[in-house]
Amino acid sequence: MLFHVEMTVKIPHDFPVEKADTIKAAEKAYAQDLQRQGKWVHLWRVAGRYSNISIFDVESVDELHTLLSSLPLFPFMDITVTALARHPSAI
């Protein structure tokens, strides 16, 4: 199942920088692992925002929920998920 996921990160301004850096490093490692597994198929930064647009290829909605809620930055994210279906005109 393919999903379009937009994630916007909102770390509070008073959050300790060292702790934020540790969480960001863990986020990067986790995201790269999911990409290597083929679950996080595409990852694009949204220019000018602390946000990304991603495509996930997972077995179920439950798997996607588990992956997203396991992201180290999850507590600081606003996430929008859209299920995708093949377009009849796609080659």
Give me the CATH number covering residue 6.
3.30.70.1060
Percentage above 70 pLDDT, the chain:
100
Residue 55 domain flag: yes
- What is the average pLDDT across 9-35? 98
Residue 28 domain flag: no
Number of domains forming the structure of the chain: 1
68-89 pLDDT per residue, tens: 999 999 999 999 999 999 999 9
46-59 pLDDT per residue, tens: 999 999 999 999 99
Residue 30 domain flag: no
Residue 17 domain flag: no
Residue 18 domain flag: no
Residue 90 domain flag: no
Per-residue pLDDT at 22: 98
Where b means 16+ CB within 10 Å and e means fewer, 57-67 reads ebeeeeebeeb
What is the extent of the structural domain holding 74? 1-12+39-85
Global pTM reads: 0.92
Per-residue pLDDT at 28: 98
> What is the rounded distance in angstroms from the CA atom of residue 72 to the CA atom of residue 67?
10
Residue 61 domain flag: yes
